[in-house]
Amino acid sequence: MLKERVIEAWNGIPVLLLVLAIFVISIAGIIWAAKEAPLGMRGVWIAFWIAVLLLDTLCWAGFFTVQPNQGVVLTLFGRYIGTVNAPGLRFANPFYAKRPVSLRVRNFETSKMKVNDHDGNPIEIAAVVVWKVVDTAEAIFQVDSYENYVHVQSEAAVRNMASAYPYDAHEEHQVSLRGSTSEVAARLKDEIQDRLAVAGVEVVEARISYLAYAPEIAAAMLRRQQASAVIAARQKIVEGAVGMVEMALEMLAAKNVIQLDGEQRAAMVQNLLVVLCGEAAAQPVLNTGTIYQ
């Protein structure tokens, strides 16, 4: 497997000045040979300075620019030479093929995909993937198009990850797509990284950007969520009401405000629970007799 090999290229500014100087000298030499060179040697001198001019012109193909956070991959007739990542104007063998590769951090959002979660429910999901190239040789030579490879493999990883978790947790401490964002994001990042390592790509971050039930079951699942919320709220209300009733009975007994027999305690508990757990406001009723009538 090819690995990146960083090499140094010549500073392009001194070489540029030298090439310009040779270009001027060769033009002047051709003019001199055409006008002032001896007749017997005139053709030789003209051919010599034309050859110098052609070689000097060929040298222009050796110049290339390296931007910050960019690497330029050099190859010679299909053989990998190395990667230049020092920014600025550089010069290398004019016969080298030069292919720039961005090393900047990039991101993209996958398309909204319809998949089945762990429970078999159809859901729609999309993710944002932040990535960068860390090995230019692998990015260029190991895969056909590393950018397309990143997109396709990221979507495949999102599909596979979505099928491993349920949309909602039905048990305590169960990992779900909606409720365990940190754990799911870490799993998604690791899975994408495993797929993209061969292309010399590092995944900086991966997170779910869109998550919803598929339209055909969205209404039913919404009712299910509402019912779960109502049950949870009722449970909290009942727990609080029982605690308040218990506290009221203990305080009445401790302060000796009133002595209640079993029937009176049952009636008091019933009335308090109705008041505390009922949805509508309680309507007071004045009892002009006794509680036994």
Cα–Cα distances (Å) from 92 to 73, 97, 100, 214, 289, in that order, read 11, 10, 14, 56, 109
Provide the pLDDT for residue 239: 77
Residue 229 or residue 242, greater confidence: 242
pLDDT band at residue 264 using 50, 70 and 90 as cut-offs: low
Encoded tokens for 238:
């009942």
Residue 133: in which H helix or E strand, if any? strand 122-133
Cα→Cα distances 21→10, 13, 91, 136, Å? 18, 12, 16, 35
Query: What is the chain's mean pLDDT, rounded?
Result: 85
pLDDT value of residue 42: 78
Q: Which residues does residue 135 pair with via DSSP β-bridges, in sequence order?
A: none
Q: Quick check: 76 pLDDT over 80?
A: yes
- Of the listed ranges 63-67, 68-72, 235-239, the least confidently predicted one is 235-239
Beta bridge partners of 64: 90
- Strands of the sheet containing 70-76, edge to edge, are 79-84, 70-76, 97-102
Tens of pLDDT, residue by residue over 80-97, are 999 999 999 999 999 999
Q: Render pLDDT for 200-240 as a digit per residue (tens, 0 to 9).
A: 999 999 999 998 888 776 566 666 666 666 666 777 777 77
Question: Which residues lie below 8 Å from residue 52, measured CB to CB, with a gap of 6+?
Answer: 22, 25, 26, 29
Indicate if the pLDDT at residue 293 is higher than 60: no
pTM beyond 0.85, yes or no: no
Helices and strands (DSSP H and E) totals, the chain: 7, 10
pLDDT at 257 over 90: no
The gap from C-alpha 55 to its chain's centroid, in whole angstroms, comes to: 49
Amino acid at 12: G
